[in-house]
Structure 1
Amino acid sequence: MQIAQQLKDKNIAEYLIYMWQIEDLIRANDCDMDKLTRNVISAYQVSDEAQKALTEWYENLVGMMREEGVQEKGHLQINRNVIINLTELHVALLGSPQFPFYSAAYFKALPLIVELRAKNGKKEEPEIETCFEALYGVMLLRLQKKVVSEATTKAIESIANLLSMLANYYDKDRKGELKLD
């Protein structure tokens, strides 16, 4: 909970990846609070008060996942809202002549985005979501100690660079420091 808030304040891209991990962690424990308490929450070495807050946070997430029907797949609306906000900023940055480096990063990643969208069959999905899915997928492969090809690693670097720039602009925009006009 505290980690999520810190990431949200510091780096929106890292926050989203973290929250997707939390969704998967909840799914791996069958959206069952007893299992989550036993397998996840109890592992935290924190005060009773912090443990209670953490339990409440997980309970709220489990409740939202049930209400929104994403117990098996998909993402919570709070996480989809991040994608929506980032997509809106992405479009605004591309539409402004003031951000040529962002546009260049986008056009470098674009062939990879198109290829990924063709492979996953989600052509209606926002491009930014496709980028996050690619990053998340590679992260999962690495966690499983699976080999990630050099070509995939190189492709992910382009996507990660684009998302890093977008996260940076998001932070500036949130602070009122970004001028799109």
Structure 2
Amino acid sequence: MDQSIINFKVYEDSVEYVGMAQATLPDLTALTQSISGAGIAGNVEAVILGHFDAMTLGLNFRTVTAQSVKLSEPRRHTIDLRVAQQDEDVVAGEVVVRAVKHIFVVIPKSDKGGTVAPASPSNGSGEYAVRYWATYIDGKKVREIDPLNFKCEINGVDYLAPVRTALGM
């Protein structure tokens, strides 16, 4: 039974600790087409296989740091969110810590400086256009979304493999 995130860290390029942050993960919103016509009573929404609306990663920082400012450089950044997640094995009666890792390739699209006030955090934030998102649980890849390379792999199934084949890729 999943319970809580114990803690997490943000890294750039898998090595440089970015700092204390709060992350808002992207929404995966499938592209759709409305279908209507003879034989259909109204409209039906068709979900387009493996195609998603633009994704955004949000990072909120307590204070301004050299590393958080570096993320506003107008280039691609590889961000790792490494999460220690607490689950409970109800059969064994044990608390289990799972390693969850999200890897993103992003480009900055906004940088909010936050506020400056005595004895308080600045709460600056950034929003980043997501080009790639992979999720690993205990080292096993469970999701890979890569729109630019026609990849949509979820739980070991590559849903866009037949599309790549049909396109001669």
Please classify the TM superposition score into its range, dividing by the shorter chain length.
under 0.3
TM-score in terms of structure 1 length = 0.19
The answer to which structure has the higher strand fraction is: 2
Tell which structure's C-alpha radius of gyration is larger. 2
